[in-house]
Structure 1
Amino acid sequence: MRMLTFFKIVCLVVCLSWLPCRAQQVMVTKDPLLLADQYFAAGEYYTAANLYEQVLNPPANTRNDEVFPVYSKRGKLNYRLPKKVSREAVLYKQAESYRLAHYWLQADSTYKKCTDNIDALYWMAVCERSLGQYAEASDNLRQYLESTNTHKQFMEPAEQEWATLLYIKKQIDRPDTVLARLRKLTIPDSYERGTFAVTPIQGNQYLVSRTKTDSPEIKGYNPNNSHLFQAVLNNDTLTQITQLKLPDAGPLMNQGAANITANGNSIYFTQWQKQNGRVVSNIYVIKQVNGSWSAPQLVDGINTNGYSSKQPFCTADGKYLYFTSDRPGGTGGFDIWYAALNGDGSVGEPENAGRTINTTGDEQAPFYHSNSNTLVFSTNGRQGMGGFDLFSAQGNTITWSTPENIGYPVNSSRDDIYFYALEKNALLSDALIGSDRGSGCCLETYRINKLPKYNRMSGVVLDTRTHKPIPEANVVLTTPDGKTTQTTTDINGNYVFDNVDNSFTNENVAVSKQNYRDTAALVAIKKTDNSNLLTDQHFNTEIFIEKKFILRAENVVTVYFDFDMYNLKKEAVRKLDSVYNVLLEIPTATLQISGYTDGKGSNEYNAILSDHRARACAGYFIQKGIAASRITFESFGACCPLEMELINGRDNPDGRSKNRRALINITKE
C-alpha cells in the first residue's frame, strides 16, 4: 500500500508545485539531470517530473553550455545523457516523480515505457488501482507476481496490493451500496485549489482548508500555500468563501485542518511548513477577544520539539481534544492522541488512544461523534481499498471496539482522510468526506447520505407451564406514540415485525390467545445480528403466556369432601382412577383441577382449605406416576356455589355438601 505524503494529507500544499501556468523559470546551467535529481530528493516531485521530461526531450537549439529552462517547448534534442545513465532509468525516475506527486495517469503511462524494468509492472498496478482501473491493475499485478525475474524488489507490497484489489471487489459488491448517495460538493475553484477538512462554526457557516497563491511570490519558493477560510454551506454548494484573517505567518507557512470548541470561543488549527525537506507541523489556537480572533498561539503540552502534531478535533461535550502526532510513545508513524480540554482553552497531558486504534502505519484526522460514541479516523495501517481509508470504532477514551472499515462508497481506492457528521444525525445519514478520489489537484469534499439499514424484530411466544411454543397467538407492537402493528405467531410460536425503529425505547408487545391470559411486556432486545448488510435482525426476549383455567362440562369429573376435610373419600378415589386411565390412554391429555368450599368460615380459611382439596387430587395422580407438568390446579374458596346454602333463611345442608368439591377438567389436546 502506498504511503501518502504529508502534502496530500493536509491539503496538499504543493497541489501543483510550480505548475507551468504560474511557474518561475528555473534555469539550469550545466547538468539538468542533476538538478532534476535534486528536486526529486527535496520532495518537489512535480517539478522533478517536468525537468526529467526536458532531459528526455530537451528544447530545440539548446547547447550544453546554455541555460536550460524548466518549462520550454520540446524539440530535437541537443542534450546528451551521461554515458552511465540510460534513457529508461530517467523514464523510471520520471514515472516515480509523477506517482509521488499523485499524478496517476501520467505515472501509469510513463511506467508503461519502462519495459526493461520489472518493478514498473507493480507500480503500473498501483497507479491503475488508484485510477479505478481494477481489471488492468489485476492483470499487471498477476504478471508481476508470476514473473520469474529475479530483480523484483516489491514482492511483499505486491502481495498486499493483491489483497487490496480483492478487498476492493468485495466492497464494491456490497449490497448496502444501494442505500448510499455520494456526490462532490459544488465549490468554486475546488478542482485547482482543493477544499477539505470542512467543519462547522455555527448554523450553515463552516471552516474549510484550501490552497491559494500568496503574493508577493518569493523567488525559489512555492507560492501555493494552504489557508483557513470561512464559507456557507447550502444544500450541496459551498459559497461565500472568505479567508479567515489571521496574523501573517510568513510566506512559507501553511494553515488548515481546524476545529472550533463547543462554546465557540477557541479555534484549534494546524500550522506547518517544510524544513530541510521535511514537513513539520504544530497545533495552534486562536481565541475570541472582544469580537475578533487573537493572534495564534502554540498549544502548550500538545506540541513536541522535533515532532509533528496536527488535525485537532474538539468533542461536542467540550471535554477532550483529539489530534494526530508522531510524538514519542506511539505505536509507529502518526497515532491518534487525546487530551483533556479545559474551559480556558488549555489542555491536559496527552494520552495515546491505544493499540486498539493505532497501528504501525499512520492514523490521521480523528473525529468523535458523541451521539453514537463513535471515533472515526483515517489510516493506512489496516486492510482497506488503497491509500488511507476511514474506519470507525465505538467507545470512549479508555475502551474501544475493534475498528471497522466504513466501507465503499465512503472509502475509495484513493485517499479518504477527513470526516464530519452532525451530532444530531446518525453517523452516515449526512456526512462530509475529504477525499482525493476525483481528478482535481487536491483533496476535495464529498457528501454522503446513507439510508438506515432495514430493521426486523422477531421473538417467540411460549406456554408458561410447558415452555412449548404457542401458534396462532395475536401479537401487537405499540410504539411510544401509540402506533400499533399486528402479526400472528407461526407454528413454532415465532413472530416477526418488519421495518421497525431500532431504538426500541418504551415499545410494548401485547399477546393474546384464546384460552390464555392476555400478556403485555416491554420490548427487551437480547441479541442483534447485524451481519446482513441490508438488515439488522433484533431478537426480543421470550414472552411467556399462562393458560386460563377453563371448565368444560363434558370433560369435568367432580369429587366431594366432608365438612372441613380435604382427604379423598372412596367414591372420590374411584372417580380419580377413571381419570387416571384416560391419562394413560391419551398421553397428550392434561388436567386442570379447581378446589372449592362451602360458605362457612372466613375467606382466608376457605382459600387455604380449597387449595388443600385441589392439591389432594393433584397429589393422587402424581403418586400414581402422572407427570406434574400435565397437571395445573387453582383454589377458589367459597366462590361459585352450585347449590343454594340458605333457603328461606334456613340452612340447606344438602346444598352445602355439593359445594364442598373439586373439579377435574380433562383437556384432550
Structure 2
Amino acid sequence: MESTNYFIRRQYGPALELLSAAIKKDGDFAEAHLRMSKIFKAVGDDKREQYHLQKVVKAQYNNPKFSEAQVLLAGKYFNEGEYEQSRKLATHVLNMKDVHKLMKEDAQYLLANIDYTERHINQPVKFNPEPIRGGMNQLGLQYFPVLTVDQEQMIFTGRRGNLPQYDEDIYVSKKLKNGEWSEPELLSPNLTTRANEGTCTISADGRTLIFTACQERSGLGSCDLYISYKIGEDWTVPKNLGGQVNGKSWESQPSLSADGKTLYFISDRAGGIGRRDIYVSYRNEKGEWSKAENLGKDINTARDEVSPFIHANGQTLYFASNGLPGFGEFDLFVAEKQGTGWTTPKNLGYPINTKEDQASLFITADGKDAYYSHEQRQGDRYVSSFIFTFEIPEEIRVSNKSSYVEGIVYDASTKEPLGASVELIDLNSQQKIAQVDSDPKLGEYLMVLTEGSEYALYVERDGYLFESLTFNYSHKNSQDINKPLHIDIYLQPIVKGKETVLNNIFFDVDKYEIKSASEPELNKVAQFLRENPDIKITINGHTDNQGSADYNLELSSRRAKAVYDYLIKLGIAENRLQYRGYGQSKPVETNDTEEGRQANRRIAFEIL
C-alpha cells in the first residue's frame, strides 16, 4: 500500500489523503482505519485516533488479526477512566483464539492495571507540585534534573527550543540566597558539542559527572556514557566509559551513587530481561569500571524500565516502569536494597502517578523534596518541559535519610590545601561504605552520611598522619542527621612528636577491654605502620577528671596497653611500639562540660 511508504517517512498528509479515499469507497476498510488511527496518534489527535480504532473494532470484533486495535482501544478507555469498557475489550482479546502472544500479554497487563487502579485511585497521597522559582525555566525544554547533595546546584538537560533541530546540552542553575534558582548556563565548553549531550548524573560533591552523548563523539554505540571530573573550577575533557559499560546498543539515563563508585543506567542491549533494563557497574580503586550487570528480575520486567535514580543513602532506588501494575503508561516506583537483591518495587501512588508517563524523579538527601520535569506532548513531540518540585509525602519517604560532612583538607604546617583520600567505614558491619578524594587544587571534600549506623571517617595521604572522625547516626541518635557539618581537616606531616587522636577506639565505662567497633581503627593504625616501616610510635591514653587521679592514671595506662597488645596481635613488632597512660593530666578541652570531658577521654598515637 502506497500510504505505508508515506507513513514510514512521516509524510502524514499524503498518507491521510490516500487512506481517506479508500475509506470513502469502503467505510468498513479496517486496515485503512487502523493506519489512520496510528497517524492521528503520532500527531497527538486523541479523538480521531479513538474514532478510527472504534471503526476497526466494530467491523472486525471477532477477528484475531485486528486484536491490536482492541487492545489499543481498551487502553484509550482505561486512560479515560472507563474501566468496565476497557476490561470488556481486554478480556475479549484473551478469550479469542489465534491471537498473537504479544497481544495477549498486552491485554493481561492492561487488566492488571485496571485492577490496580480501581483498588488505589481512591487512596491519593499528598501531592502539590509547583514550578521551581527564579530564572531557571527559560529554555524551550528542560528535563532530567539532578542536584548536588548540598542542594546548591542543579544540573539538567536542556534544549533552547522545542523543535527537533535544537540539540541537547548540559546546563547548570545555582540556588540564590533568596532560595530561587539562577538563570541556566552551559555547564562547561568541554561538555558541549553540536551533537546531543544530556541525561546526566553527578556525584554528591559535584565533582564527578557522567552523561549521555550521541552521534559525534567517539562512541561504541548509538548513544554512550561519558565521564568528566571537576578539578578546581574546570571540567576535564570527557572520556568514554569503555566497553565494560557501553556497547553497540543504546546506553543512557545514568544515576551515580553519592561517592561516584556505583553507576546505574539504562540499556536496550541484547540478553536483557525486557526491552530496556536497568544495569549496574562498579568502579574499583584503580578507577576501572566493572562489566555491567543486569539488575535482575527484582527490578526489571519484560517491558521497559527507565530513569533510575539511586538516592544519596545508596539504598533506595527510584525508577519508572511500564511493566509493573500501575495507573497507566510509565509509573514511578521505589525499591530498597536488601542483601544482594531488592525489595518488591512500590508504586509511589496517585496522583504522583497518573495515566500519563512519569519519569526523571530526583529526591533530596533528606528525603523531603522531589524534583522532576513536567512535560506536555503533542503526538511524538514534546511541546513543553519545565522543572517542578513537590514535597514527598511522609508515607513514601526514604527509610534512611542522609546528610553530609564537608570541609577542606589542609597541610597542618603550611596551611596549604591538600588532595587526600576520604574513606567512610560502617562501624557496625566494619565495611567500607564510600571513598572520595578531596579536590587536588582546592582541598575540598564532601562525604554523605546516612542514618541507621555509626561511622568512622578517615582522611589520609602519603607522608602524613591519618585523621579519624566519628559519627553516630544510629536511629536513636539521628536527630542531628538533618544538620550538614563543616569540618576542616589538618593533616600532620610524619614528624617526630606529632600526634593523631584515634576517635574510633571504644571502651565501656570504667573498662579497658576494646569493643569490636574499634577494629577498623586498629586495622587502620596497623596499615599505617606497615606502609611506614621505619616509624615507631607510642600509644597514649588519656581520661577526663571524673574519679581520682590515681584511678584515672591506671585506667588510661591499661587502655593504652590494650591497644598496644592488639597491634602486636596484628603483626606489628614490639620494638616499634610503646604505651603510656597520662590519666587526667593532659586535657585538650574543659572538663566542665560533657562535650569537653568526652574530648579528654581519648587514645592517641605519637611519632617517636
Name the TM-score class by shorter chain.
Answer: 0.5 to 0.7
Q: Tell me the residue number matched to 2:404.
A: none
Q: Tell me the residue number matched to 2:455.
A: none
Which of these residues, 135, 139, 142, is aligned with residue 88 of structure 2?
142
CA distance in 2: counterparts of 1:191 and 1:159, whole angstroms = 42
1:231 CA displacement? 2.8
1:260 CA displacement? 1.4
Q: Tell me the residue number matched to 1:161.
A: 110
In structure 1, list runs of 5 or more residues that go unmatched. Answer: 1-30, 40-46, 58-78, 456-501, 508-669
Larger radius of gyration: 1
Alignment of 1:240 onto 2:183: yes
Which of these residues, 337, 355, 361, is aligned with residue 297 of structure 2?
355
Q: Tell me the residue number matched to 2:329.
A: 387
Deviations, residues 350-376 of structure 1 (Å, cap 9, x unaligned): 333233222332222221224382111
Contact 1:246 1:296 in 2 (8 A): no
Q: Tell me the residue number matched to 1:432.
A: 371
1:134 CA displacement? 0.8
Amino acid paired to 2:247: N
Q: Tell me the residue number matched to 2:142.
A: 195
RMSD between aligned residues: 4.4
Amino acid paired to 1:431: A
SS in 2 for 1:52: helix
Q: 1:192 to 1:285 in 2, by over 3 A?
A: closer
1:161 CA displacement? 1.1
Alignment of 1:171 onto 2:110: no
Contact 1:191 1:442 in 2 (8 A): no
Amino acid paired to 1:116: A
CA distance in 2: counterparts of 1:152 and 1:204, whole angstroms = 54
Alignment of 1:406 onto 2:406: no
Deviations, residues 101-144 of structure 1 (Å, cap 9, x unaligned): 666455334434545354434313323434xx112x54254256
Which of these residues, 168, 175, 180, is aligned with residue 127 of structure 2?
180
Amino acid paired to 1:37: F
1:343 CA displacement? 7.3
Q: Tell me the residue number matched to 2:32.
A: 90
CA distance in 2: counterparts of 1:285 and 1:377, whole angstroms = 22
Q: 1:143 to 1:354 in 2, by over 3 A?
A: closer
CA distance in 1: counterparts of 2:276 and 2:41, whole angstroms = 22
CA distance in 2: counterparts of 1:254 and 1:85, whole angstroms = 45
Amino acid paired to 2:330: F
CA distance in 1: counterparts of 2:338 and 2:295, whole angstroms = 9
Contact 1:268 1:285 in 2 (8 A): yes
Amino acid paired to 1:122: V
Amino acid paired to 1:310: S
1:209 CA displacement? 1.7
SS in 1 for 2:248: coil
Q: 1:345 to 1:167 in 2, by over 3 A?
A: same
Alignment of 1:331 onto 2:283: no
% identical equivalent positions: 21
Contact 1:236 1:447 in 2 (8 A): no
CA distance in 2: counterparts of 1:193 and 1:316, whole angstroms = 30
Which of these residues, 252, 259, 267, is aligned with residue 317 of structure 1?
259
CA distance in 2: counterparts of 1:189 and 1:454, whole angstroms = 28
Correspondences of 1:224-303 after superposition (within 5 Å): 224-232=166-174, 240-246=183-189, 253-272=195-214, 280-288=222-230, 291-303=233-245
Q: 1:109 to 1:194 in 2, by over 3 A?
A: farther
SS in 2 for 1:129: helix
CA distance in 2: counterparts of 1:112 and 1:236, whole angstroms = 51
CA distance in 1: counterparts of 2:264 and 2:85, whole angstroms = 42
Q: How many residues are treated as equivalent by the alignment?
A: 386
CA distance in 2: counterparts of 1:94 and 1:246, whole angstroms = 45
1:269 CA displacement? 0.6
1:398 CA displacement? 2.4
SS in 2 for 1:395: strand
Correspondences of 1:441-520 after superposition (within 5 Å): 441=383, 445-453=387-395
SS in 2 for 1:414: coil
CA distance in 2: counterparts of 1:192 and 1:146, whole angstroms = 46
Q: Tell me the residue number matched to 1:53.
A: 16
Amino acid paired to 2:159: T
Alignment of 1:210 onto 2:152: no
Q: Tell me the residue number matched to 2:565.
A: none
Q: 1:302 to 1:436 in 2, by over 3 A?
A: farther
CA distance in 2: counterparts of 1:207 and 1:259, whole angstroms = 8
CA distance in 1: counterparts of 2:44 and 2:138, whole angstroms = 14
SS in 2 for 1:225: coil
SS in 1 for 2:325: coil
Correspondences of 1:565-584 after superposition (within 5 Å): none
Q: 1:129 to 1:85 in 2, by over 3 A?
A: closer
SS in 2 for 1:358: coil
CA distance in 1: counterparts of 2:166 and 2:198, whole angstroms = 13
CA distance in 2: counterparts of 1:232 and 1:292, whole angstroms = 16
Contact 2:257 2:314 in 1 (8 A): no
Amino acid paired to 1:374: T
Deviations, residues 501-521 of structure 1 (Å, cap 9, x unaligned): x955599xxxxxxxxxxxxxx
1:162 CA displacement? 2.4
Contact 1:258 1:270 in 2 (8 A): yes
CA distance in 1: counterparts of 2:11 and 2:18, whole angstroms = 10
CA distance in 2: counterparts of 1:91 and 1:195, whole angstroms = 36
CA distance in 2: counterparts of 1:343 and 1:103, whole angstroms = 53
Amino acid paired to 2:371: L
SS in 1 for 2:359: strand
Which of these residues, 310, 313, 321, is aligned with residue 368 of structure 1?
310
Deviations, residues 602-659 of structure 1 (Å, cap 9, x unaligned): xxxxxxxxxxxxxxxxxxxxxxxxxxxxxxxxxxxxxxxxxxxxxxxxxxxxxxxxxx
Q: Tell me the residue number matched to 1:467.
A: none
CA distance in 1: counterparts of 2:50 and 2:136, whole angstroms = 26
Return the TM-score normalized by structure 2: 0.53
Deviations, residues 357-408 of structure 1 (Å, cap 9, x unaligned): 2233222222122438211122222222222222211126823222222222
Amino acid paired to 2:73: M
Contact 1:182 1:409 in 2 (8 A): no
Q: Tell me the residue number matched to 1:661.
A: none
CA distance in 2: counterparts of 1:162 and 1:203, whole angstroms = 41
Contact 1:266 1:345 in 2 (8 A): no
SS in 2 for 1:407: coil
Q: 1:263 to 1:451 in 2, by over 3 A?
A: closer
Contact 1:266 1:286 in 2 (8 A): yes
SS in 1 for 2:171: strand
Contact 2:316 2:335 in 1 (8 A): yes
Q: Tell me the residue number matched to 2:437.
A: none
Q: Tell me the residue number matched to 1:122.
A: 71
In structure 2, list runs of 5 or more residues that go unmatched. Answer: 62-66, 398-473, 480-608
SS in 2 for 1:441: strand
CA distance in 1: counterparts of 2:36 and 2:53, whole angstroms = 9
Contact 1:227 1:256 in 2 (8 A): yes
Contact 2:258 2:313 in 1 (8 A): no
CA distance in 1: counterparts of 2:34 and 2:179, whole angstroms = 41
Q: 1:377 to 1:108 in 2, by over 3 A?
A: same
CA distance in 2: counterparts of 1:160 and 1:338, whole angstroms = 27
CA distance in 1: counterparts of 2:266 and 2:240, whole angstroms = 15
Contact 1:281 1:309 in 2 (8 A): yes
Deviations, residues 32-86 of structure 1 (Å, cap 9, x unaligned): 72541332xxxxxxx34444334456xxxxxxxxxxxxxxxxxxxxx88999998
